[in-house]
Amino acid sequence: MRIGILSDIHGNLPALESVLKKIDELRLDRLHCLGDIVGYGSFPNECVELVRSRCTIVVKGNHDSGMTGETSIDDFNNLGQQAIKWTRKQILPEHFEFLKSLPMMATDGSVTYVHSSPAEPDQWTYIFSIRSAEEAFSAFTTDLCFIGHTHVPVIIGEDMSINAYTPPRDKSGNLQRRFLINVGSIGQPRDGNPEAAFGVLDTETLAYELVRVVYDVEKAAAAITKAGLPTALAKRLYQGV
């Protein structure tokens, strides 16, 4: 089975629609979502609606949790706080309840799914250091663990090797070790590439690839400005930062 792994949509409907179009072309069998469906972008309800109708496993992100009030937004930066306050006024009650009901972590076969880190997932740790990566590896037992949260795609091996696109294999094609795989962000990429990012995994062979999709950034940015959200949230989409 080929599955699509989506993360950090952040209310960016034009990006999500373009990704779903690509996913339909690729004829993927199943979709899972790593959270942060809302926050920053101006289409929270539309994005939650699509995730609810298309995704099988959905785990909670810190912006989802901040919006429902389960996580304090005091630690969010100013732009994040403003966006959460705006989103709280827009979100439909049924979508609010859906986000509140999401699990922090899920496991399916040889794969773990979590927004930030499998080590204390409600602490929303960013895996940017060797120490945080080592703590993450000690907290899951499957071959692979998919994460989002940093909005920067990366593949980290258990020996702390870093690969941008494909986990290394031996001559027989077997994975050489366990991996943490960050699938990047659909709605607010921060790796200097404005194209929406998502992951595709073959669950039988564990072959993985990162897919980038061009979308209508202008449309997403104009909607952010029109909604009265901070213009900085619109501008960053053009640079992918």
Residue ranges that bind Zn ion, judged by CB under 5 A: 8, 36
Q: Are 192 and 12 in contact (CB under 8 A)?
A: no
- Comparing CB distances to Zn ion, the nearer of 8 and 191 is 8
- Comparing CB distances to Zn ion, the nearer of 85 and 169 is 85
Least distance to Zn ion from the beta carbon of 184, Å?
Answer: 10
Q: Which residue is nearest to Zn ion (CB)?
A: 36
Least distance to Zn ion from the beta carbon of 25, Å?
Answer: 26
Least distance to Zn ion from the beta carbon of 1, Å?
Answer: 27
Q: Are 73 and 83 in contact (CB under 8 A)?
A: no
Under DSSP, is residue 221 helix (H, G, I), strand (E, B) or coil?
helix
- Comparing CB distances to Zn ion, the nearer of 124 and 219 is 124
Instruction: Provide the strand spans (E) within 13-115.
Output: 30-33, 55-58, 105-108, 111-114
Task: Determine the Cα–Cα distance for residues 185 and 213; give it in Å rounded to an integer.
Answer: 11
How many alpha carbons fall within 13 Å on the CB side of residue 119? Answer: 13
Least distance to Zn ion from the beta carbon of 61, Å?
Answer: 6
Cα dihedral across residues 161, 241, 226, 16: positive or negative:
negative
Task: Determine the Cα–Cα distance for residues 137 and 151; give it in Å rounded to an integer.
Answer: 19
- Comparing CB distances to Zn ion, the nearer of 8 and 17 is 8
Under DSSP, is residue 231 helix (H, G, I), strand (E, B) or coil?
helix
- Comparing CB distances to Zn ion, the nearer of 17 and 36 is 36
- Comparing CB distances to Zn ion, the nearer of 65 and 175 is 65
Least distance to Zn ion from the beta carbon of 190, Å?
Answer: 9
Looking up tokens 């992918």 gives 240
Least distance to Zn ion from the beta carbon of 241, Å?
Answer: 13
> Nearest to residue 36, comparing CAs of 80, 85, 90?
80
